[in-house]
Amino acid sequence: MTPMWYIVLSAILFSVGAVGVLIRRNAIVLFMCIELMLNAANLALVTFSRINGTLDGQIMAFFVMVVAAAEVVIGLAIIMLIFRTRRSASVDDANLLKY
Amino acid sequence: MNPTLADFGHDNGWIVALKVVGVFVFLVVMTLFTIWYERKVVARMQVRPGPNRHGPFGLLQSLADGLKLAFKEDIMPLKADRVVFFLAPVISTVCAFTAFAIIPFGPFVSIFGQKTPLQLTDIPVAVLLVLACSGLGIYGIVLSGWASGSTYPLLGGLRSSAQMISYEVAMGLSIVAVFMMAGTMSTSEIVNAQAKGGQGELFGFEFTYPGWYVLLLLPSFVIYAISAVGETNRAPFDLPEAESELVGGFHTEYSSLKFALFFLAEYINMVTVSALATTLFLGGWRAPWPITQLGPWVNQGWWPLLWFTIKLLILLFVFVWLRGTLPRLRYDQFMRFGWKVLIPASLIWILALAGFKTMNNENLPGWQRGLWIGGFAVILLAILLWPRKRPAPKLPLEEEVAQRPEGSFPLPPIDLQVPVSPRAKRITADREPVQ
Amino acid sequence: MTAIDVMLSAVGLVAVGSALAVVSTQHLVRAGLWLVVTLGAVAVEFLLLRAEFVAWVQVLIYVGAVVVLLLFAVMLTRAPIGRSTDLDRPIGPALLIGAGSGLGLAGLFAWVFRDMRVNPPPTGSAQRVGEAIFGDWVLPFEVLSVLLLAALVGAIVLSKKDT
């Protein structure tokens, strides 16, 4: 089978994640949807590496994972901080620049 | 002659099935045995007989307990999330069993005429599989704590997830040294790499070093052992199920077979980390030194299974020994120990080891080596012994009171006497005066 | 249809289905669990693409650590057992955008790669990935290590009580 289907799959996963970001309010679920989108991008990168017959795509996917880990750490710290002051994890409640 | 990575994946279907059943039976029997062993050893340490009613030496005690557990009422708390509540013990147990698939029990044996390595399977990143399984095992505990819909289990689950994530880092770092020495992550190759020692040269002296990584990489082994105890939630690191603080921790609301599954998973995890320690640091299934003098047969056929099991039992004894000896740590002490002692120590050790290997590769002359090692040691000592900011000396009480700024809150009397409560007074009034 | 194709379609369906569940479920913790299923399915796809090391790293980092952290945060923010009401945003426009972009992207990719054949597969074993990272990709790797350190320090600073 052509590698086309892997890329189509990654496109579908990406848009599912994007819809999730648009319709959810809870900041942590937003994070989950962003992880979904990053993972879809990873799938595309690994497929490209398969198409080109080189390892570069896989290494990019590896780097994306590391960046995602760093992003989750910082993001969750910020969410916990907001939760501590506003008692809510909903993104709609974090609408002030200053608490 | 010894199994390598290329020897796996050629087995018949029924041999694979036989091996799977074998590993399963081994783990269940080990669990039953370990529960008995733990109770017996702890009992001996506390000068009491321990279980001795069922079967010879009470060996059937844990079997009887298991049967009894199966017939207990299966309680589902009203506020629980039913699906997740059911899923959690299953996840725990499945992950515990899966991790054992890559543990080598021995070299080639013949099963009904088929020559096959005594190991279920092996992959190039086998040790990562164990780490991944223990990572997935966290889900069982976190979810069980959350799904119970009750406070103590939730606290236990949160504690244990924090604990296992932090100790997994230390564990992974301690294993990195083994990867560096063996040059592979496949368990059978790591066992092979420990088969014979090598020649080393340090400060102009030539010597033969032994193959076992426990001698070669002692700091890694110590860190692995400590983090393994933390990873399996065993005393003195059994904070997720601290009886005196959290009732039963994450499995407070569980009963009957679901509880039995958690019990099974905990003991299998103990066996798995011990088996991994045997494989990575204690030469795997190979016989130890004095026995190897008996002839080559000790490392062939089914004999290695015996050495493997003996090593496993010794490590399990250490687990029980720790439980019988040490009190439980406080949570903050435990976390500080993990993050501020184990992980930096691992990092420094890996750095030193990598530097040493690079020096060997580059073939530096002796004096340059001495310079590098000395410089490293000096920097390390400087960091360790760097003078800390001294805390301000503690003033006596009167001076502290005198230093308070104007307009502070009024001080309560410092030698306040708490009046005896009326209830206590009544009780003591009723009592006969003691002569 | 070879065995790999069947696997690809089955695992792909699992991935898309559980991704939809992540987006649509009203149980916060179950969203995390469905995310685990999706990530596991994508890891299997990596294995099918012979990216062995990336697949294991995916299981180790994403499933083993990142989602556990997410669940941890969900529990710390007092996620209730049962439904929570955070899905009351208008779904229509989001669905329109999502379906449009998804179908557009999928169609575009399907058209671009319609007769692409796979080159000899590069097996992403740990050894080869390691050689590539520490050969051609050393600088990005080091920069990433600095990024991780910065994230570590940042998280500590953020979660300190008295700032």
Cα–Cα–Cα angle for B221, B222, B224, rounded to 5 degrees: 60
The answer to whether the Cβ–Cβ distance between C75 and B79 falls below 8 Å is no
Each residue of B261-272: b (16+ CB within 10 Å) or e? Answer: bbbbbbbbbbbb
CA distance B227 to B246: 22
Euclidean distance between CA atoms B169 and B337, whole angstroms = 13
Residue B79 pLDDT level (bands cut at 50, 70, 90): confident
Nearest CA in chain C to A2: C117
What percent of chain B is predicted at pLDDT more than 90? 0
User: Under 8 Å CB-to-CB from B253, ≥6 apart: which residues?
Assistant: B75, B77, B80, B85, B148, B149, B150, B153
Q: How far is A97 from chain C (nearest CA, A)?
A: 16
Which residues in chain A (43-82) have CB-CB distances under 8 A to chain C? 43, 46-47, 49-56, 58-59, 61-63, 65-74, 76-81
Please report the number of interchain residue pairs, chain B to chain C, with beta-carbon separation below 8 angstroms: 73
Q: Do A36 and C19 touch (CB under 8 A)?
A: yes
- Domain boundaries in chain C? 1-82, 125-163
C162 compared with B256, residue with greater pLDDT: B256
Chain A residues within 8 A of C2 when measuring between CB atoms: 1
CATH of C1-82, one of 3.40.50.261, 1.20.120.1200, 3.90.1150.110, 1.10.3720.10: 1.20.120.1200
User: Are B and A neighbours with ≥3 CB pairs closer than 8 A?
Assistant: no
What pLDDT, on a 0 to 100 scale, did the predictor assign at position C146? 92
In this structure, how many other beta carbons lie within 10 angstroms of the beta carbon of residue B384? 8
In the block, residue with structure tokens 């029990």: B105
On the question of pLDDT at C117 being above 70, the answer is no
**CA-based end-to-end distance of chain A:** 55
Mutate to test the interface with A, among C105, C138, C141 (most CBs of A within 10 A): C105
Question: How would residue B214 be classed by pLDDT, with cut points 50, 70 and 90?
Answer: confident
Element (H, E) at B131: helix B126-147
- Whether omega before B236 lies within 30 degrees of 0, making that bond cis, reads yes
Chain C residues close to B185, C-beta within 8 Å: 126
Residues of C with CB under 8 A from a CB of B: 27, 29-30, 33, 36, 52-53, 56, 59-60, 63-65, 68-69, 71-72, 75-76, 79, 81-82, 125-127
Mean pLDDT of B60-88: 84
CB contact under 8 A, B132 and C27: no
- Residue-wise pLDDT for B114-162, tens only, equals 777 777 778 777 888 888 888 888 888 888 888 887 788 888 888 888 8
**CA–CA distance, B365 with B359 (Å, rounded to integer):** 9
Closest to B335 measured CA to CA, from B247, B417, B245, B227: B227
pTM (predicted TM-score): 0.80
Q: What percent of chain C has pLDDT over 90?
A: 3
A22 contacts chain C (CB < 8 A):
yes
In this prediction, residue B199 carries a pLDDT of 61
For the stretch C49-76, pLDDT in tens is: 877 888 888 888 888 788 888 888 887 7
Per-residue pLDDT of chain A (99 residues), as tens digits, is 567 778 888 888 888 888 888 887 788 888 888 989 999 999 888 888 887 777 888 888 888 988 888 888 888 888 888 887 777 777 776 666 665
pLDDT at residue C33, as a whole number: 86
3-state secondary structure at position C112: helix
Q: How confident is the model at residue B204 (pLDDT cuts 50, 70, 90)?
A: low
Chain A: give the shortest CA distance to residue C81, in Å.
Answer: 15
Are C63 and B135 a contacting pair at CB < 8 A?
yes
Judged on CB neighbours under 10 Å (0-12, 13-18, 19+), B26 is middle
Complex ipTM value: 0.85
**Amino acid B260: pLDDT:** 87
Q: Which domains does chain A have, with CATH numbers?
A: 4-93 (1.10.287.3510)
Mean pLDDT comparison of A37-46, B163-172, B374-383, highest-scoring range? A37-46
